[in-house]
């Protein structure tokens, strides 16, 4: 873990400033509880044209919560980096859960990759940029190790891919059922 502290301390030495100390807590707040991403998914479900896309995002978020918060965080039980330095002053409230993987990163990459795999390229790129900023904020704020953030990104991408595949399969089954038309009972022929 020494090299991970090297990266975290390097980020502090290169990027730390009063301006960044104001910006990074706001950026990281976008990932709090996945609310930003849940809201985005819900907004997309309001419109028939983007409903399937919204459902895909929400499905990816469910996959992310199950894999990160329900399974991996309690299983790995990795303390956060700031716990090794009791004098460290955090710019955000001290997270009480475990460090691995980064849920903020995973939820953000789940939404971004769901957009990408659903062929919503412009939205996927925009979401991806926000996801990268949120991931960086977790390192800047000293609440995650680099491997937490990397794992969160990979898990998020996998959740987005799985949700996209599942959404496409359900949509194809629904379309096939619609195309087959109503069934005529045998006795009515």
The answer on pLDDT for 134 being more than 90 is: yes
Q: Give the CA count within 13 Å in the CB-facing half-sphere of 99.
A: 20
What pLDDT sits at residue 182?
64
User: What gap in Å lies between CA 110 and CA 156, rounded to an integer?
Assistant: 4
pLDDT bin (cut points 50, 70, 90) of residue 184 is low
What pLDDT sits at residue 69?
93
Of 81, 161, 148, 147, the residue nearest 117 (C-alpha)? 161
Average pLDDT over residues 85-113: 93
The answer to whether residues 53 and 120 touch, using CB atoms and an 8 Å cutoff, is yes
The answer on pLDDT for 36 being more than 60 is: yes
The answer to whether residues 78 and 99 touch, using CB atoms and an 8 Å cutoff, is yes
The answer on pLDDT for 185 being more than 80 is: no
Crossing angle of helices 146-179/2-15, nearest 10°?
Answer: 90
Query: Which residue's entry shows tokens 């996801």?
Result: 131
The answer to whether residues 80 and 98 touch, using CB atoms and an 8 Å cutoff, is yes
User: What gap in Å lies between CA 76 and CA 78, rounded to an integer?
Assistant: 6
pLDDT tens-digit profile of 114-130?
999 999 999 999 999 99
DSSP tag of 181: -
What pLDDT sits at residue 67?
96
Q: CA 36 → CA 40, 108, 116, distances in Å? A: 6, 9, 18
Taking the whole predicted model, whether its pTM rises above 0.85 is answered as: yes
pLDDT bin (cut points 50, 70, 90) of residue 177 is confident
């Amino acid at each position: 873990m020494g090299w991970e502290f090297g990266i975290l301390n390097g980020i502090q030495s290169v990027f730390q400033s009063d301006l960044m100390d104001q910006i990074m807590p706001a950026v990281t707040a976008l990932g709090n509880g996945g609310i930003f991403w849940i809201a985005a998914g819900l907004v997309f479900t309001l419109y028939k044209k983007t409903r399937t896309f919204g459902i895909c995002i929400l499905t990816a978020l469910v996959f992310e919560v199950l894999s990160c918060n329900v399974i991996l965080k309690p299983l790995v039980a990795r303390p956060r980096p700031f716990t090794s330095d009791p004098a460290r002053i955090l710019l955000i409230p001290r997270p009480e859960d475990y460090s691995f993987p980064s849920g903020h990163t995973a939820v953000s990459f789940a939404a971004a990759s769901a957009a990408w795999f659903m062929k919503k390229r412009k939205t996927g790129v925009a979401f991806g940029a926000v996801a990268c900023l949120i991931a960086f904020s977790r390192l800047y704020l000293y609440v995650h190790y680099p491997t937490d953030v990397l794992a969160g990104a990979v898990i998020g991408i996998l959740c987005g891919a799985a949700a996209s595949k599942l959404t496409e399969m359900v949509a194809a089954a629904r379309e096939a059922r619609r195309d087959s038309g109503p069934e005529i009972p045998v006795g009515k022929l």
